[in-house]
C-alpha cells in the first residue's frame, strides 16, 4: 500500500450514486468529483503549471509511453520526478501505455503474454513494454498515482477475444503488483470487459481481490455507440469497492461526465478541451461556438458571460477572434485556458449540487442550458 493515499467520502447524493469527498495524495488533497487535465508529454498544451493551479486543476495526467520515448524516464527521474521536472506542485497520475496498445496498432508487434514491442516513430528504435517494465518506468516518473499495464481490446471484437484479453489483463495486473517497489505511489487496476455484462462483472471481481488502491473503468470511448458507453460504466461500478477511488478516462462531453458522476465515478480526464481550443471551438454555458467565425469580429462580450477564467475576465470575443485570424498562438492559449476552466467549473458546481442532494437537477439544468443533450 502507498503512503498518505486514501479517499474520504463525505456525502453521497440521496437521489443517485454521486459522491462528494477528498482524495488524499503525497502531493496534496483534491476535491471529488474532479476533472483532470491531460499533459501527455508532461505538459498541458499551451498552459503553464501555474495557470493550471490557478484554474483549480488538482491532479494532472502524463503518459508513460510518450515519456519513455521522449525525454526518457531516466531523465525525469534525475530531475527529481515528474512534479519537479514539470514544476507542477500538485498530484500527478501516469497512464500505463495500455491505451497505446489499442491506438498504435501500426507501431506495435503482436501482443504476447510477455508484453508488447513498439517501434519508436521518431528514431526507429524498438521499446518493449511488459507489466514489470511499465511499473519500473512509472516509478522513474514518480507520479502519485500509477496504472497497471493492461490490454485495451478493440471495439468491436468477439466475446472470445474479449475474454482472453481480460484474462491477460488480470495476469498482467498480478505481475505489476509483484514488481512494484515504491510505497509512495498508489497503483490502480483497470477493469475491462467491453459491452459484455458478465465479462465486466468477472474482470471487476477478479481485480478487486487484489491490493489495488483504486480502479479505472477501461475500454470505453474507443469507437462504440454512445449508448454503449453509458452501459459499460453501469456494468462495472456495482462491483467496485465503495472506499476506493473510481476513475473514467477519455470522457470529454458533459452528458457522459454527468452520467459517470451519477453512477459514482470520482475522476475524469480528456484531451478534448485543448484539442477543441486549437481549432477555435469554445464551450460555453449556452452551447459551443467557433470563435473563428466572422460574426464574432465585432462582438465585445467575453467568451462566456458566466465563466470566471482569465480569458473571460480580460478579453473579448472580438479580440480572440482577431488573434485566431492572425494565427497568433496567444489566441489558442486563451481558448485553452477557457475550455479547461469550463470543465473544472462544472465539477465545482457538481460538488455543491451533490452536497445538497440535487445533482440530478443540476445536471439536467446544465445540459438544457447548453442546448444539446450531449453537452459537447
Q: What amino acid positions are annotated as catalytic residues? A: 95, 269
Tell me the three state secondary structure of residue 38. Answer: strand
Which CA distances in Å does 6 have to 143, 246, 342, 352? 15, 12, 27, 22
Q: Can you name the residues that pair with 60 across neighbouring β-strands? A: 92
- Could you give the CA distance from residue 135 to residue 144 in angstroms, rounded to a whole number? 13
CB 94 within 8 A of CB 145: yes
Spatial CA neighbour of 258 closest among 18, 2, 77: 18
Which CA distances in Å does 194 have to 56, 128, 149, 228, 263? 33, 26, 17, 9, 17
- Could you give the CA distance from residue 219 to residue 248 in angstroms, rounded to a whole number? 10
Amino acid at each position: 500500500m502507498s503512503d498518505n493515499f486514501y479517499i474520504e467520502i463525505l456525502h453521497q447524493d440521496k437521489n443517485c450514486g454521486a459522491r462528494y469527498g477528498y482524495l488524499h495524495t503525497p502531493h496534496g488533497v483534491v476535491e471529488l468529483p474532479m476533472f483532470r487535465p491531460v499533459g501527455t508529454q508532461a505538459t498541458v498544451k499551451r498552459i503553464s503549471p501555474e495557470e493550471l493551479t490557478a484554474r483549480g486543476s488538482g491532479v494532472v495526467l502524463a503518459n508513460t509511453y510518450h515519456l519513455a520515448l521522449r525525454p526518457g524516464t531516466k531523465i525525469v527521474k534525475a530531475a527529481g520526478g515528474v512534479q519537479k521536472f514539470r514544476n507542477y506542485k500538485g498530484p500527478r497520475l501516469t497512464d500505463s501505455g495500455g491505451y497505446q496498445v489499442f491506438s498504435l496498432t501500426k507501431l506495435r508487434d503482436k501482443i504476447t503474454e510477455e508484453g508488447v514491442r513498439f517501434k519508436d516513430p521518431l528514431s526507429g528504435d524498438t521499446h518493449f513494454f511488459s507489466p514489470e517494465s511499465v511499473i519500473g518506468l512509472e516509478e522513474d516518473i514518480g507520479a502519485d498515482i500509477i496504472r497497471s499495464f493492461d490490454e485495451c481490446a478493440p471495439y468491436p471484437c468477439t466475446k472470445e477475444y474479449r475474454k482472453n484479453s481480460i484474462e491477460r489483463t488480470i495476469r498482467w495486473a498480478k505481475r505489476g503488483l509483484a514488481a512494484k517497489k515504491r510505497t509512495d505511489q498508489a497503483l490502480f487496476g483497470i477493469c475491462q470487459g467491453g459491452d459484455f455484462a458478465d465479462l465486466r462483472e468477472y474482470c471487476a471481481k477478479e481485480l478487486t481481490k487484489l491490493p489495488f488502491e483504486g480502479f479505472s473503468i477501461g475500454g470505453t470511448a474507443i469507437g462504440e455507440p454512445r449508448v454503449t458507453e453509458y452501459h459499460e460504466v453501469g456494468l462495472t461500478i456495482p462491483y467496485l469497492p465503495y472506499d476506493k477511488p473510481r476513475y473514467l478516462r477519455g470522457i470529454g462531453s458533459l452528458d457522459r461526465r454527468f452520467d459517470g458522476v451519477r453512477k459514482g465515478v470520482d475522476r475524469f480526464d480528456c484531451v478534448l478541451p485543448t484539442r477543441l481550443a486549437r481549432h477555435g471551438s469554445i464551450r460555453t454555458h449556452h452551447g459551443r461556438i467557433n470563435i473563428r467565425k466572422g460574426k464574432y469580429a465585432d462582438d465585445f462580450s467575453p467568451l462566456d458571460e458566466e465563466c470566471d477564467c482569465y480569458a473571460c475576465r480580460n478579453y473579448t470575443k472580438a479580440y480572440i477572434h482577431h488573434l485566431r485570424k492572425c494565427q497568433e498562438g496567444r489566441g489558442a492559449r486563451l481558448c485553452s485556458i477557457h475550455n479547461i476552466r469550463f470543465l473544472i467549473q462544472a465539477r465545482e458546481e457538481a460538488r455543491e449540487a451533490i452536497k445538497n442532494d440535487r445533482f440530478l437537477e443540476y445536471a439536467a439544468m446544465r445540459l438544457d442550458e447548453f442546448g444539446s443533450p450531449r453537452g459537447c
